[in-house]
Every structure is written in structure tokens, then in C-alpha cells.
Amino acid sequence: MNKIELESYLDEYVEVTLFDNFSYCGILSRTDDYLEEYHKKGYYFLSGFDDNQIFKCSHVKKIKNL
């Protein structure tokens, strides 16, 4: 997945499937906007129940709106 395609889903409720075939649901956000909580730049996370799942763009296998 390229960065432009992934960032088109920012602030939307999505289901993300990562490279290990596990799927997570939540609102897609960037860690750059929350550096006081997440000390890594250039990563993404899903806000909601699974706030601990931080991933890079290259980890995303597929994404879809819910």
C-alpha cells in the first residue's frame, strides 16, 4: 500500500488488514499528530479499542471503509 492511498483514509472508520493477516478496526490516525503519546514519526494507528496497534504504511495489506 502506498502512503498517498493510505492517507486518503485518515480520520475515517476503517478496517485494516496487516501483513500478518490480522484485521483491526478503528479511526485511522497518524502518530505525527500525537507525538506526546506516540514517540515515532511516520507511523499510523487506529483509535478505538486497539490503540496499541502502531504500524507503518508498508505493513498494510488492504484497507476498507466500514
3-state secondary structure of 5: helix
Whichever domain contains 14, its CATH number is 2.30.30
The structure's pTM equals: 0.84
Average pLDDT of the chain is 88
The Cα–Cα gap between 43 and 19 comes to 15
Which phi and psi angles does 37 have, rounded to 5°?
A: -95, -45
13 Cβ neighbours under 8 A, 6+ residues apart: 25, 26, 27, 65, 66
Residue ranges making up the domain that contains 41 = 3-65
**pLDDT tens for each residue of 17-41:** 999 999 999 999 998 877 777 778 8
Query: How many domains is the chain built from?
Result: 1
Q: What pLDDT was estimated at residue 50?
A: 60
pLDDT interval class at 10 (50, 70, 90): very high
